A = this chain, B = another copy of it.
């Protein structure tokens, strides 16, 4: 069925060169010349509606993607059907790297809200790596980041209490807001409680209760999906990043 609404495509037509996410994304550190090569290869952004799949577990992997706007979650599926969200990808962040393993993706990627993603076809990536010196290293950097990011998440799931997990999640979001020069202590969650719970390996009810606790302790203010961090320091104390102040 065709949708009545049409996503405005005008604002999507932005070259890497002009993209304000440039430094967070693939083009990080590239020269103007290199960016031109990049632009020649990157497809114009794909529009996604909420709940659209960008790719599915098992699909042949033909590209990696960069989120241009919105938010995309990736999740793995187990033999007995339950799912684990392994990442929420904000603008400038990449996804699809799991597809390198054996030419097909090993997880599902789903838009949490109306989003757009830039596409970098794999066959052209090959060529591009020869044209752009240092791109190979860039690729490695990006994959290394993915790996060490996953390791942090393993630590979270393996060793942290529910309270620490949620605090850690909020701090991670806050840090990424800051990277994007958005407000680091006030932002909207693009995912429902259910997805936060899944990602953090706990029950929705626990997420809800912890939000309530944090709020009553004046650490954050929660209004539906809108989060205001009132006491960053105390959040850091919870995850052990800071000593409790006197």
Which residues on A are within 8 Å of B, measured CB to CB? 76, 78-84, 86, 97-102, 106-107, 126, 129, 136-137, 139-141, 143-148, 150-155, 157-160, 198-201, 239-241
Contacts and interface: CB of A to CB of B under 8 A. Distances in A.
Contact of A100 (B84, B141, B198): B141
Contacts of A86: 151, 154-155
A206 B81 CA distance: 25
29 contacts: A76-B155, A80-B239, A80-B240, A84-B159, A86-B154, A86-B155, A97-B143, A98-B144, A98-B147, A100-B140, A100-B141, A100-B144, A100-B145, A101-B144, A101-B145, A101-B148, A106-B151, A107-B148, A136-B136, A146-B147, A147-B147, A147-B150, A150-B154, A153-B154, A154-B154, A157-B157, A157-B201, A158-B198, A158-B200
Q: How many copies does the complex hold?
A: 2
A140 B160 CA distance: 31
Contacts of A241: 79
Nearest to A81: B240
A58 to B, nearest CB: 12
Nearest to A242: B79
Given A106-B148, A151-B76, A240-B80, A101 B158 contact: no
Given A84-B154, A143-B143, A158-B200, 10 more contacts: A80-B239, A83-B159, A100-B141, A101-B147, A102-B141, A106-B148, A136-B136, A139-B140, A147-B147, A150-B154
Given A126-B136, A154-B86, A201-B157, A144 B102 contact: yes
A157 B84 CA distance: 9
Contacts of A159: 78, 82-84, 201
Given A84-B159, A129-B136, A147-B143, A152 B101 contact: no
